[in-house]
Amino acid sequence: MMGGLSRKAGWALALLGVSALAGCGAPGAGGSSLGNALLFAGPTVPPPAKTAIEDVYCPSVEIAEGGSSIQAFAGGRVGEQGALRSQIALGQIARECVGNPDGSTIVKIGVEGRALLGAGGSPGRYDVPVHIAVKSGSTVIANRSRRLSVTIPPGESQGTFSVVEEGILVPARDASSFEIEVGLGGSGPVSGRRTRG
């Protein structure tokens, strides 16, 4: 019984000693190496974490005019429904904006869509050109094109695709006035567009 008490007392003293070591010096002022190792898993104090700001300007996504869908026809017979091989259309579009302490904003954009077989099409792999642009007035901040592929399996009439473009940094000077534009096909921002929330 006494042995158990003395062991408990020893642990309590050891914990008090560790607490005292960890408390030597204020965090951020250096402290002791052992105290820092216990508190921060290393001999030095890490820099303070930057705080992300979520309540920032985040505009609706604009769909480039003519960029909501693309069609492919067999034999160059454009407009003939019997020759329609496939139609690729945008579906859900989402965006997320997170502010930095310096006033800049990081933007993430997600795009989903689907490919549908036409009367003249057959199952297989179809290319999907997706274009994403972020701009402020006439200044293009980001201009990204992705060529995805969507597979329509045998026995099916459609397939889906998705892409997430992240890490787009909008400078502080443009953080309250930028625009986001998405479209299928093309390789640059297009004037004339409709809004998608």
Q: What is the pLDDT of residues 50-71, one digit of tens each?
A: 566 778 999 999 999 999 999 9
* Contact indicator for 49, 164 with CB cutoff of 8 Å: no
CATH number, domain with residue 158:
2.60.40
**Residue among 121, 133, 116 nearest 189 (CA):** 133
CA-wise closest residue to 30 among 17, 13, 45:
45
39 pLDDT band (50/70/90 cuts)? Answer: low
- The confidence band for 191, taking pLDDT boundaries of 50, 70 and 90, is very low
Q: What is the pLDDT of residue 110?
A: 96
The single residue listed with the structure tokens 């104090």 is 45
Per the domain annotation, does 56 fall within a domain?
no
Q: Give 155's DSSP letter.
A: T
The answer to whether residue 179 scores a pLDDT higher than 50 is: yes
As a whole number of angstroms, the distance between CA 127 and CA 149 comes to 5
In a domain, 119, yes or no: yes
**Domain assignment of residue 150, yes or no:** yes
Domain total of the chain: 2
Q: Please report which confidence band the pLDDT of residue 15 belongs to, taking 50, 70 and 90 as the band edges.
A: very low
Q: Is residue 132 part of a domain?
A: yes
Contact by Cβ (8 Å): 192, 65: yes
Specify whether the CB–CB gap between 185 and 72 falls below 8 A.
Answer: no
Q: Which residue has the higher pLDDT, 123 or 24?
A: 123
**Do residue 127 and residue 190 come from a single domain?**
yes
Q: Which domain holds residue 73?
A: 61-196
Domain presence at residue 140: yes
With a cut of 50, say whether residue 46 has pLDDT above it. Answer: yes
CA distances from 126 to 1, 110, 150 (A): 77, 20, 5
pLDDT at 119 over 80: yes
Mean model confidence pLDDT for the chain: 78
- Whether 45 is covered by a domain: the verdict is no
Structure tokens at 33: 């190496």
Assigned token pair, 47: 């820099």
pTM of structure: 0.66
- In this structure, are 125 and 94 located in the same domain? yes
Nearest Cα residue to 67 out of 186, 197, 195: 186
Encoded tokens for 170: 């909008």
Encoded tokens for 88: 């690729």
φ/ψ region of 178 (left if φ > 0, alpha if ψ in -120 to 50, else beta) reads: beta
